[in-house]
Chain A
Amino acid sequence: MKAARTLAAAMLAAAACLSTGGCDSGPKPPPGVLGDPGRGKLALTQYACHACHKIPGVTGSDVYVGRPLEGLAKRRFIAGNLLNNQPNLMHWIRDPQSVYADSAMPNLGVSEKDARDISAYLLTLD
């Protein structure tokens, strides 16, 4: 009886995952990081980040136009010589040309809220 109830609960959870397309409560970003990593994981696909970057947890092609973002949270620097912290990452995501005028990474018009959530997700990648 108990086993049947557990099974039913698991099936319900699986069905919920399939219908919403997002199951994982996901890994948590380091302390002090603001924003919603779960929403960020979806948001980054709506700005085509995964078109150029390989991003763990995001379905996409094997692409190396931009740097793979695996282990981003462990890096000391991003975009060459910016210290790796959330404000810098958001700044780089929102306006790469202000860091390098000739950057091949375009300005994708990412809002502040979306950049916060996207950076929150990327900072879970260790």
Chain B
Amino acid sequence: MPQARSRSIAKTAMWTLVAAGGIGAAVGLTVFRAGWYNVGATSPHFGVVFRLLEQAMRYSVRNHADGIATPPLGQAEALRGALVYRDNCAQCHGGPGVSPSTHGLSMQPVPGPLVDASTKWKPRELYWITRHGIKMSGMPAWEFHLSEADTWATVAFINRLPAMSAREYRALTATAPAAGQQGGMQ
């Protein structure tokens, strides 16, 4: 009875899958509803979860920034960007020789330094991240708070960071006038 036999195998396989799915869902619901998952920022992700989320972010940014045209970013933009950076970014990201403020130190994920950001991201990707922020990471979107020109100026400055000493950073960000918070887009 080969036909009856294969039908019984298929039936067993199906019910096994259904049972496994049901048990999995019950366990998941229990963990979810009982609040066993620790959302505290003092409890780290498992390494594999962290790497998966980080890699997903990389692919997402690469995909969404594709097609953005980078304007010429010169000395003038970098100098302006230094002030925008000082006023809006250094609080969480710090700078060469400069600590983030307290709230930037103990976030999870940690905002991290940007001195190596231009070795990991293209200018258009840095622009996209600044403009749109990163969900669930604490990185805010600046689209409605920084002008287009200031956003690109920030990217220009971040591009200079890898070669910048603590002394140069101090000098560039010490310039008196605060960067304008014009808001909106130009």
Listed in ascending order, the chain A residues whose CB lies under 8 Å from chain B are 18-21, 42, 45-48, 50-52, 58-61, 63-65, 97, 102-109
**Number of residue pairs A-B, CB distance < 8 angstroms:** 75
4 closest A-B pairs by CB? A21-B43, A106-B99, A51-B112, A46-B106
> Are the C-beta atoms of B42 and A42 separated by less than 8 Å?
yes
The residues of A that contact B113 with a CB separation of less than 8 Å are 51-52, 63, 65
Among the 9-residue stretches B2-10, B44-52, B137-145, the one with 4 or more Cβ atoms under 8 Å from chain A is B44-52
Size class of the contact patch on chain B: 20 to 34
12 extra interface residue pairs, beta carbon distance < 8 Å, beyond A64-B116, A105-B97, A107-B99: A21-B40, A21-B42, A21-B43, A47-B106, A48-B105, A48-B110, A48-B111, A58-B44, A65-B115, A102-B97, A108-B99, A109-B99
A65 neighbours in B (Cβ, 8 Å): 113, 115-116
**A104 to B, closest residue via Cβ:** B96
CB nearest to A47 among chain B residues? B105
A21, A60, A97, A106: the one within 8 Å of B94 (CB): A106
> Which residues of chain A are near B104, meaning CB under 8 Å?
48
B133 interface hit (Cβ, 8 Å): no
The majority secondary structure among interface residues of chain A is loop
* A102–B167 CB distance below 8 A: yes
27 A-B pairs, CB-CB below 8 angstroms? Answer: A20-B38, A42-B42, A45-B106, A46-B42, A46-B105, A48-B100, A48-B104, A48-B110, A51-B112, A58-B44, A59-B46, A59-B47, A60-B110, A63-B113, A64-B116, A65-B113, A65-B115, A102-B165, A102-B166, A104-B115, A104-B165, A104-B166, A105-B97, A106-B97, A106-B98, A106-B99, A109-B102
Residues of chain B from 31 to 61 with CB closer than 8 A to chain A in the complex: 36, 38, 40, 42-47, 50, 54
Q: How far is the CA of A19 from the CA of B100 in the complex (A)?
A: 30
Residues of B close to A97: CB separation below 8 A: 97
Report yes or no: B166 in contact with A48, Cβ–Cβ below 8 A.
no
Which residue of chain A lies nearest to B119 when distances are taken between CB atoms in the complex? A64
Residues of the A chain whose Cβ atoms lie less than 8 Å from the Cβ of B167: 102
- Do residues B44 and A61 form an inter-chain contact, with CB atoms below 8 A? no
